[in-house]
Structure 1
Amino acid sequence: MARHEDRDPLNEEDLAQIADLPKVELHLHHEGAAPPAFIRGLAKEKSVNLSGVFREDGSYAYRDFVHFLSVYEAATQVLQTPRDYARLTTALLEECAANGVIYCETFLSPDFCGGGDLGAWREYLHAIREAADAAERDLGVTLRGVVTCIRHFGPEKSRPAARCAAETAGDWIVGFGMGGDENRGELNQFLYAFDMAREAGLKLTTHAGEWRGPSEVRSAVEDLRVARIGHGVRAIEDLALVDLLAETGVVLEVCPGSNVTLGVYPNLAKHPIAELRDRGVKVTVSTDDPPFFHTNMRREYFNLANAFQWDADVLRELTRNAADAAFCDDDTREKILKRLET
């Protein structure tokens, strides 16, 4: 495979192929995918004051990563019932379909869906699944759920989240992971929750190596024993760790637009996704919280193509990486792979 700097500039045919590529997304936060207009509409219906959540142009307003988390959680105030989550599921899958996504895994937190109560979680999950089934039928997008605990809520709250995941594990809830503020606590404090999920047969991922350095990525691999890592990009600062990721096949759920918007890297040209790929790491592409970061999957593909002169074949490779790393059952994966070949 030629390195990105050796490629000729993209032509119109290349760009047209990229626009039409079917896509697979592995790193998408359910609430973080809510269009601002959708949240504002729910706030109006429910008479919820969301002052400070939006800019004058209607987009989400935040200063930095920590403030982003608080705005994110403030916006979720309007998501109060299973029906609200069903409506949100429809809205986010319509966006996925509009950008050529055929399979997506979404991060769902029982802390937001019923406050960690198992009975309430089942009600929310039922509503989300019904909406997802309808979207698969009508839009051709397959959705699966990855339950997440929230790191800055602390290790104790991770246990009810893991229990909700374990009790509903199956063909639709396929994984367990952790999001939130990476600078709070240590990964090994969450071993109980991850072990509970593992014993239930769930596959594992966690956010790491976005804000903290490579030692955090190493902890995700060695302590939590995850199959995938959300972000993981700061592994590039330790080439022995990069080699470990390549050798073990741990997959990175890379969100380039998110990383640039939040200031992890100053621009896409400085982003390490290309070097990680060149060094044999399995990288994939996702949007993270797309309306917050003014992105979508089609835009991510175009931006990578322009920044690194990646043609459609390289982006197909990244999409295949994502399909291979998806936490779904083998029958679902085979269906996805067949659709990628057409």
Structure 2
Amino acid sequence: MMLPKVELHLHLEGAAPPAFIRGLAAERHIDIGRVFDERGGYAFTDFWHFLKVYEAATSVLTTPGDYRRLTRAVLAESAASGVIYTEAFLSPDFCGGRDLSAWRDYLAAIREAAEEAERQEGIVMRGIVTPIRHFGPEKARETAICAVETAGDWLVGFGLAGDEKSGNPKDFSWAFDAAREAGLRLTCHAGEWGGPQSVRDAIRDLRVERIGHGVRAIEDLALVDEIAERGTVLEVCPGSNVALGLYPSFRAHPIHRLRERGVKVTVSTDDPPFFHTTMEREYALLAEAFDWDDGVFGVIARTSAEAAFCTEETRKKLLKILEKAHA
């Protein structure tokens, strides 16, 4: 039986199947062949080149209708891998250029597709708005306004993505304070390329309850213990970290050591087609690397559900599904 999974770290555009992006580019007569390799997958050399390829692929998504189709395609892939709940990062930067009126239209299309997927495939999606860090703090303020004006039971969180080496978390304090005041739950990409200090800064300066990645914390065991004591949840994406060269293999990845030290870890795919992964593949490779059994994955799925930014009603439904599967 395929285990039910809860995913907390998924970039909507980054989850676009390459064939979907190629097809959309062909419809628009846009040449983005440079973003694909000879086998039709996404082609990049390192993380910073990945960011450029990501933005080039996203450039063909130009209407709310495109995002509706994208959301259906992404959720179909996730559901096929056993995902019952996913939180997707959404960027007004890509959805209407941070114009609030346009953002509302894009968000409505994404939500409509998500609700259709929930009815037809049983997968639940919620949205987390993310400014793009390397676009700068001022644009992040505009993104935060979009988030604040559309916050609710469906748009539930606020985060920060992009080049971790661009600026400092405190540069984005205004945006995070605004999101917090609007009732949005907070996360932040850190501890991937910026090292342990970036995790400490995100927790201290932005007061987030989750960290996207966070794995470089393992280089500072005092920080690891602080994370465990605080109950800060790490949105770990092992396949992404290995594909981008942060670690040479799953066996070398620190997720197991973090978990053994009491940190609440979850498992996600980040940008799955870029990194040739799925949630099912993540589970299989983690089981192989660390001899994790269904019991361990049950704990991780429950941790994910408990850390999700959804309503308590939705959380109870997720936990009931997980309890039944792991009974």
Instruction: State the TM-score, normalized to the length of structure 1.
Output: 0.94
Q: Where in structure 1 are there 5+ consecutive unaligned residues?
A: 1-16
2:159 partner SS: strand
One-letter identity of the residue aligned with 2:317: K
Matched, 1:29 2:11: yes
Tell me what 1:120 maps to.
102
Matched, 1:295 2:284: no
2:130 partner SS: strand
One-letter identity of the residue aligned with 2:107: L
Matched, 1:40 2:40: no
Cα RMSD for the two superposed structures? 0.6
Please give the residue correspondences for 1:65-214 in structure 2 after superposition, counting only pairs within 5 Å.
65-214=47-196
Q: Where in structure 2 are there 5+ consecutive unaligned residues?
A: none
Query: In the alignment, which of 17, 31, 37 is matched to residue 55 of structure 1?
Result: 37
Deviates more, 1:48-57 or 1:278-287: 48-57
- Whole-angstrom CA distance in 2 between matches of 1:106 and 1:290: 12
One-letter identity of the residue aligned with 1:187: P
- Whole-angstrom CA distance in 1 between matches of 2:323 and 2:197: 38
Encode CA deviations 1:91-147: one digit per residue, 9 max, x unaligned.
Answer: 000001100000000000000000000000000000111100000000000000000
Matched, 1:227 2:219: no
One-letter identity of the residue aligned with 1:315: F
- Whole-angstrom CA distance in 1 between matches of 2:215 and 2:120: 36
Tell me what 2:244 maps to.
262
Matched, 1:283 2:279: no
2:206 partner SS: coil
Shift, 1:51, TM fit? 2.5
Please give the residue correspondences for 1:304-323 in structure 2 after superposition, counting only pairs within 5 Å.
304-323=286-305
- Whole-angstrom CA distance in 2 between matches of 1:44 and 1:113: 20
One-letter identity of the residue aligned with 1:30: L
- Whole-angstrom CA distance in 2 between matches of 1:259 and 1:208: 13
- Whole-angstrom CA distance in 1 between matches of 2:237 and 2:77: 17
- Whole-angstrom CA distance in 2 between matches of 1:241 and 1:106: 27
Encode CA deviations 1:297-335: one digit per residue, 9 max, x unaligned.
Answer: 000000000000000100111111100000001001111
Encode CA deviations 1:192-240: one digit per residue, 9 max, x unaligned.
Answer: 0000000000000000000111111001111111010000000011111
- Whole-angstrom CA distance in 1 between matches of 2:219 and 2:314: 36
Encode CA deviations 1:235-258: one digit per residue, 9 max, x unaligned.
Answer: 011111111100110000000000
- Whole-angstrom CA distance in 2 between matches of 1:109 and 1:220: 19
1:149 partner SS: coil
- Whole-angstrom CA distance in 1 between matches of 2:217 and 2:323: 32
One-letter identity of the residue aligned with 1:198: R
- Whole-angstrom CA distance in 2 between matches of 1:321 and 1:58: 36
- Whole-angstrom CA distance in 2 between matches of 1:97 and 1:239: 36
- Whole-angstrom CA distance in 2 between matches of 1:220 and 1:76: 27
- Whole-angstrom CA distance in 2 between matches of 1:318 and 1:110: 31
Instruction: Could you list the structure 1 runs, at least 4 aligned residues long, displaced by more than 2 angstroms after superposition.
Output: none
- Whole-angstrom CA distance in 1 between matches of 2:172 and 2:189: 13
Shift, 1:339, TM fit? 1.0
How many percent identity over aligned positions?
A: 68
2:193 partner SS: coil
2:34 partner SS: coil
Tell me what 1:245 maps to.
227
Encode CA deviations 1:55-107: one digit per residue, 9 max, x unaligned.
Answer: 01000010000000000000011100000000000000000110000000000
How many pairs does the alignment contain? 324
2:265 partner SS: strand
Instruction: State the TM-score, normalized to the length of structure 2.
Output: 0.98
Shift, 1:268, TM fit? 1.0
